[in-house]
Amino acid sequence: MATNRTFTMIKPDAVENGHIGAILEKITAAGFRIVAMKYTQLSRRDAELFYEIHKERPFFDELVTFMSRGPIVAAILEKDNAVEDFRTLIGATNPAEAAEGTIRKLFATSIGENAVHGSDSDENAAIEGAFHFSGREIF
C-alpha cells in the first residue's frame, strides 16, 4: 500500500532562513506531486511522539527542542518510488556528507538542523502522513 507516497517536513531552520519556496521548487521540479500540505508548528509532545524511535539517543532533547521551536511545512508527496527517490533528493543526514545539489547540501546548516525530513520506509511514510493529515486533507 502507498508505495508511491512519502512524507516530508521543511524544518524550523529552513523556514527561519527563508527557504520554503526554494525547497518546494526543488521538490516539484524533481517530479513529486503535493497531495497534502500545511504550515503548522509541532508542540514538544508532538515532536517527542514523531521522533519516538530516537528517544534513547543522546541528541533526543536537542532534536525535540529544535523541531518544536518554530513553524514547519508538512507535506505528503507522490511519485513512483517516492520514499527512496526523496531520500536521494534530500541527501545525507549530515549536510557535510550530502551530495552536491541535494536539498540538505544547499539549505542545511548542521547534522541537527538539516532543513528537511524524509520518511525512511513506506510504512513510516503512511504513519507520519496520518500523524499530520486527515483523509479529507489529502488530494
Catalytic residues: 117
- Which residue's beta carbon is nearest to the bound Mg ion? 120
Under the binding rule (CB under 6 A), the answer on residue 118 touching ligand ATP is: yes
Count of positions on this chain that bind Mg ion (CB under 5 A): 1
Among positions 80-109, residues that touch ligand ATP (CB under 6 A) are: 93
Q: Shortest distance, CB of residue 136 to ligand ATP, whole angstroms?
A: 26
CA distances, 74 to each of 10, 11, 56, 94, 133 (Å): 7, 9, 25, 21, 9
C-alpha cell at 78: 507522490
Nearer to ligand ATP by Cβ, of 28 and 65: the residue is 65
Interface characters, 120-139, with Mg ion (x: CB under 5 A): x-------------------
Return all residues near 125 (Cβ < 8 A) that are at least 6 apart. 2, 5, 6, 7, 76, 82, 83, 119
Alpha-carbon distance 101 to 110, whole Å? 16
Segment interacting with ligand ATP (CB under 6 A) among 17-25, 30-38, 55-63, 78-86:
55-63
Under the binding rule (CB under 6 A), the answer on residue 114 touching ligand ATP is: yes
Under the binding rule (CB under 6 A), the answer on residue 120 touching ligand ATP is: yes
Partner residues linked to 47 by β-bridges: none
In angstroms and rounded to an integer, the radius of gyration of the C-alpha atoms of the chain is 14
Q: Which helix (H) or strand (E) holds 35?
A: strand 33-40
Binding site for ligand ATP (CB under 6 A): 54, 59, 62-63, 93, 111-112, 114, 117-118, 120
Binding site for Mg ion (CB under 5 A): 120
